[in-house]
Amino acid sequence: MIEMQDVWKTYPDGSHALKGITVKVNRNEFLYVVGPSGAGKSTFMKLIYREERPTKGSIFVNGFNLEKLKQRKIPYVRRNIGVIFQDYRLLPKLTAFENIAFAMEVIEAPKKIIKKRVTEVLELVKLKDKSGSLPSQLSGGEQQRVAIARAIVNNPTVIIADEPTGNLDPETSWGIMKLMEEINFRGTTIIMATHNKEIVNTIRKRVLAIENGQISRDQVRGEYGYED
Ligand code: ADP
């Protein structure tokens, strides 16, 4: 479902972020990406949702080679990937409902279907009673749940989460993880970069460690493996 073959990424300033990554992530897997700061984790994730392009190598998502993608196929591949960030990235002037609906409006979904589906995902993230709130009126955990609802609203096959619990206290983080597991259980592949040792060592999943732009470890039901 996601495959990288000898992927290299050098930024224009000469930083070698990734140096020969080869990996396969199967449908419905839950993968943690761990490693020191600056190791290349974010770059790895950005290449999958096509925020960055590789300097060399091939990347396949759902059978499509991202580098050979016809222009008209790009929205189709993008729609199949939901992205979640550490800092939520909600639109500040839109309510929770509107933030989620916006992701469906850009793919031109019919109004009636938008209302039904947004209500459904708000229920899933347990925020139905906050649908009219602005991000500034929500706690960090609630904002992240809105961001998760937005990421899944178009039924993507893959969720890319870059340190989704990075700004949250431990208790709120566990709640977010429960939700991620639920989404995975319902059939979505999850790729999550994290520095959260507790979570990785408790909710055991496949662990891919990146160090200095290379894969240093790939374990089934792995462990965090660092002291920080
Ligand atoms: P991580 O997510 O593991 O902290 P990153 O993928 O953000 O690692 O960064 C990997 C390396 O690439 C670092 O040396 C970083 O400084 C460099 N880097 C990341 N983004 C850019 C960029 N846009 N321009 C130049 N260098 C970058």
Which pair of structure tokens corresponds to residue 122? 């708000």
* Ligand 1 touching residue 71 (CB < 6 A): no
pLDDT band, residue 170 (cuts 50/70/90) = very high
How remote is the CA of residue 52 from the centroid of ligand 1, in Å?
A: 11
pLDDT band, residue 92 (cuts 50/70/90) = very high
- CB-CB contact of 143 with 151 (8 Å): no
Look at residues 30, 44, 21, 33 and name the one whose alpha carbon lies nearest to residue 225.
Answer: 33
- CB-CB contact of 33 with 225 (8 Å): no
pLDDT tens digit string along 77-90? 888 999 999 999 99
* Ligand 1 touching residue 37 (CB < 6 A): yes
Average pLDDT of the chain to the nearest whole number: 96
Backbone dihedral region for residue 20 (phi beyond 0: left; psi -120 to 50: alpha; all else: beta): left
Say what the pLDDT of residue 66 is: 92
Q: Which residue's CA lies nearest to atom 15 of ligand 1? A: 38
Element (H, E) at 3: strand 2-10
Q: Are strands 214-219 and 64-65 parallel, antiparallel or unpaired?
A: unpaired
pLDDT tens digit string along 137-163? 999 999 999 999 999 999 999 999 999
Say what the pLDDT of residue 77 is: 87
Say what the pLDDT of residue 142 is: 97
Lowest mean pLDDT among 9-18, 66-75, 157-166: 66-75
Residue 179 has pLDDT above 80, yes or no: yes
In angstroms, the CA 85 to CA 223 distance is: 23
